[in-house]
Amino acid sequence: MEFGITFPSYIRAYHDAKMAEDCGFTHAWFYDSQMCYSDVYASMALAAEHTRHLKIGPLVAILGNRIAPVTAHSIATINELAPGRVILGVGTGFTGRNVMGMPPAKLKTMRDHIEVIRNLLAGGEATYREGNRERAIKFLHPNAGYINVADPIPIHMASNGPKALEMVGQLADGWVTIGLNGEYISNSIKQIKKAAEGVGRKLDSVYTTNLTSGCVLRPGESMTSPRVLRQIGPSAILLLHTNWDPKQMKIGPFAPPEIAPLAKRYFEDHIMKMKTPLEKRYQEMHLGHLAFLRDGEAKYITDELVKISTLTGPPGEIIDRIHMLEDAGITNIALNVCGTDGRDMIREFGNEIICKI
């Protein structure tokens, strides 16, 4: 099992990235959400410069927010700073789109962008389309020290729905997911492999990154102790954020049955009582996203929600759950840093978990 530390991109995250490298973490991942955090590529550039072995990538770059040649150029620039240590995670967008009141990018957009990006990162020519115009494009100075396309950059795709999982198998080098349900993970990996076979690709294994969070409980602490909530609360509440359907103004389709009553209460008693006008409520919905709990949110975080959404518990229990996830097919546990200080989590997991697995 490999372990990543995942940052709501902040420009000084390189301090924590270096510490994570020293504590046994293998990856540093950065969120791409332009209305919430620092620029993802600037944050990754500093992390690349201040680490030596850590693999670095966006989790995930939102395709559609930038044109495909810009995404390819940006990640190839990071690859010049950290040759062979770069992964391009891509997705349709959650906060990166929703916080502007926009829906996720369409899967067709994903496919078109991935095809352009892959060709450019291979040092070749790509077909770029804008409106009715179609042109051949390529990097003009790939060997002049501006970018690095000599060292391969794998493309990992975030997905959950059946059609998106098919696209992972058809186009991507790895899969990014959320949720700690082993059966869902193993079944999804089977779907990805089947889709790969359908287009003549053979995937003996699927590099799978699981985005979660966690806290190693100290003696006497509960799942909802103040320190624990500071460390994992913004990650746990995300499961309720994602269940809001802003278009239909009702609970969305992704609430696990175990927390459906809690999601309903959060929707009715919290979301629907926000003071922001409905036409702008997407802004308030994502205030504090994966960084801090808003006033009134802590009461919705239950032991069950923490258990379902994070790796929180005594060290032995966390290690057992990680082994279960590994058996299901997870390759990389990506632990979210809430806010701009992940040192407690890095230290805890380095000393209590990573070095014992």
Tell me what pLDDT residue 251 has. 61
Tell me what pLDDT residue 18 has. 98
CA distances from 345 to 119, 214, 338, 348, 351 (A): 38, 8, 10, 5, 10
Tell me what pLDDT residue 340 has. 87
Query: Domain segments of the chain: what residues?
Result: 2-221+313-356
Pairing assessment for the beta strands 174-178 and 207-212 based on DSSP bridges:
parallel
Tell me what pLDDT residue 191 has. 97
**Spans of the chain, pLDDT less than 50:** none
Q: Which CATH superfamily is domain 2-221+313-356 in?
A: Luciferase-like domain (3.20.20.30)
Tell which phi-psi region holds residue 41, choosing left (phi > 0), alpha (psi between -120 and 50) or beta. alpha
Pairing assessment for the beta strands 207-212 and 88-91 based on DSSP bridges:
unpaired
Residues 6+ positions from 341 with CB-CB distance below 8 Å: 16
Residues 6+ positions from 227 with CB-CB distance below 8 Å: 215, 218, 221
Contact indicator for 27, 69 with CB cutoff of 8 Å: no
Q: How far from each other are the two terminal CA atoms of the chain, in whole angstroms?
A: 8
Segment 205-220, tens digit of pLDDT:
999 999 999 999 999 9
Name all contacts of 315-318 with Cβ < 8 Å and 24+ positions apart.
315/216, 315/352, 315/353, 315/356, 318/214, 318/216, 318/352, 318/353
Tell me what pLDDT residue 259 has. 86
Tell me what pLDDT residue 285 has. 87
Residue 304 tokens, joined:
């069950």
CA distances from 264 to 177, 180, 267, 305 (A): 24, 21, 5, 13
Residue 20 tokens, joined:
């994570």
Tell me what pLDDT residue 248 has. 62
